[in-house]
Amino acid sequence: METANQNIYPITRKVNKNGNIEIGGCDLIELANKYSTPLYVYDEATIRSITKSYKDAFKSYPNINMMFAAKAFMTKAICKIMEEEGFGLDLCSGGEIYTAKSSGFDMSKTLFNGNNKSFDELNLAIESGVRTISVDNFFELALLNNIAKSSNKTVRILLRITPGIECHTHEYIQTGHLDSKFGFDLTQLDEAIELIKDEYTNLNLVGLHAHIGSQIFEKKVYFDEVDVIFKEIKRIRDKYSITLSEINLGGGLGIKYTESDKPISIYEIAETIIESVEKHAKEYNIESPLIFIEPGRSIVGTSGVTLYTAGSSKQVPKGRKYQAVDGGMSDNARPSLYQAKYTVEIANNPNGEANEKVTIAGRHCESGDILAKDIMLPEIEEGDTICFYTTGAYGYSMSSNYNRVLKPAAVLVNNGKSDIIINRQTYEQLCESDVIPDKFI
């Protein structure tokens, strides 16, 4: 069964009677005029469709929790949607913890993840009622135990491991292979467990956590991941008489950015994971564990588009034509960071003949600020609204104020109505943290 992550467009996308692209019942040109550009636009129906697909795909396994990987796109409004859809939150910073708590989210449905959590962040997690902390390294084990001990609390933990599985994705987003900054190597696991048993008595080890990467198009790697985790659970049970009842398999399911991408469906990975869990539980005589799945990109990526306004252009003699827009690497770092590719349309001329090769250039003082290279589009006129699809994940999350450019607004669209979920930054807000030393006054 096809799921929304296998499509480039949000599920409500259409061309309306005015010849403009419409998403969530809202004309993108009207949105650009009302809210200005650059503008992040999120289709609520697509987000909810994907969360429902995840729940439906895994419904045959009775003991599973869905966690949204908040790093993909974290706002108070998204927290509300995830809570309504029955998802927990996988958090990886104090800021994400604070956002979740301040939105009113049930913190007993959260997990704190990350490779270099600070004292303040771990303390905030405990004080905020985060359910479980995924511990990444020996330094964190000792630090977390000291914090828990001083608070006279016992903290539930998972140990994050690197399972040694390498998926075919960009080098920067592979997290499960052996040479990774994340997690305990399997050869270090016994030392960690012995410390927890003998010294770190304020830590309650309940399971293992692994993550094999992002933008994954293969289903076999999920089977292999479960295999590695169950072998460790059995070995730990046999050696230490410790029964681990929870496993976190991470997320990483890919989405379709361009026609060349061929992601698998949510149902395919669910079938693979459930088959592998049931096989290994039976083989090793292990009671079926509570499974956590933490998708991020595949939940919000397809739902989001980014709108820009076309500005200046430049035709290099016997070379490229550059078309500049009013945003760039400050609102979407992925093309510069990962050489990511996107599907692009002119929102006010989606059906025009794509007869011109152009390179969409950002507005920043960087030669590498290129959003899309050598793509075919209808001839662009100054003032046209340019729409980049599948920008819902890691656009706003990785945004910056490079060149002191303001961060864009974000709107949620549904049934013809648009709601602001992030206000456009103002110049006053941009400068509010600046301080002039007294010696200059």
The catalytic site residues sit at: 365
Enter the tokens of residue 146: 């000291």
Q: 10 Å Cβ neighbour count for 278? A: 14
Cα 145 to the center of its chain, rounded Å: 29
Residue 209 region by backbone torsions, left for phi larger than 0, else alpha for psi between -120 and 50, else beta? beta
Side chain identity at 287, as an amino acid letter? E
Nearest in space to 212 (alpha carbons), one of 154, 181, 242, 167: 167
Q: What SS3 string covers 83-123?
A: HHCCCEEEECCHHHHHHHHHCCCCHHHEEECCCCCCHHHHH
Report CA torsion sign: 75, 80, 85, 90.
positive
